[in-house]
Amino acid sequence: MTRMTDRDWIMRHAALEDNCYVSTGGLLTAVEELQQKKIGSNVMRSAFAQLVKLFRRENRMSWEQFATKLDVELGEVIAIEGNEHLSPSPRTIHKLSAMMKVPTEKLFVLSGLAQSRDVQVQEESLKFAARSQPLEELSQDEHTVLQEWVKYLCEK
């Protein structure tokens, strides 16, 4: 089976389906590809956030000290570590690269400011993000909240 990849053709035929299930030539594939890119981007950002956070902590710097040493805004450092959707500035990436001694190009990819076709970078970023999360026991309150939430989900 061949797939049509002409975007205009796809959009015209999708419109003809009048808000019904869209099955027009390749549109579903295009949507799935966009979702995969979004997931990949989130993985990279998460790995970037963890990299910066662990580097800062390894060097025993507070957010304020780290921002001062980098010569960047404190809010940007907090946003980076919080894995927010705010992209760091290219200037910040260059400063981080110099401080961390990590290639600028790799940090641009991890931060979401550039894309890489290297699937292995994405896979390794996923592994790093997963391994770098601390393993902490839940507090009694967290445990109770979790159990209540699961119970609610199972009842509905």
**Cβ neighbours of residue 79 under 8 Å, at least 6 residues apart?**
86, 88
Helix 90-100 and helix 27-58, axial crossing angle in degrees, nearest 10: 50
For position 27, what pLDDT does the model report? 56
pLDDT in tens, the chain (156 residues): 445 556 677 777 667 766 565 555 565 555 555 455 544 567 788 889 999 999 999 999 999 999 999 999 999 999 999 866 778 999 999 999 999 999 999 899 989 888 877 778 888 888 888 888 777 888 899 889 888 988 888 886
Per-residue pLDDT at 11? 72
Burial-class residue 113 by CB neighbours within 10 Å (0-12, 13-18, 19+).
middle
Q: Hey, where are the domains in the chain? A: 7-134
CATH code linked to domain 7-134: 1.10.260
99 Cβ contact partners less than 8 Å away, ≥ 6 residues apart = 55, 69, 70
- Residue 74 · residue 41 · CB < 8 Å: no
pTM for the structure as a whole:
0.63
> Which pLDDT score is estimated for 1?
45
Q: Tell me the residue type at 9.
A: W
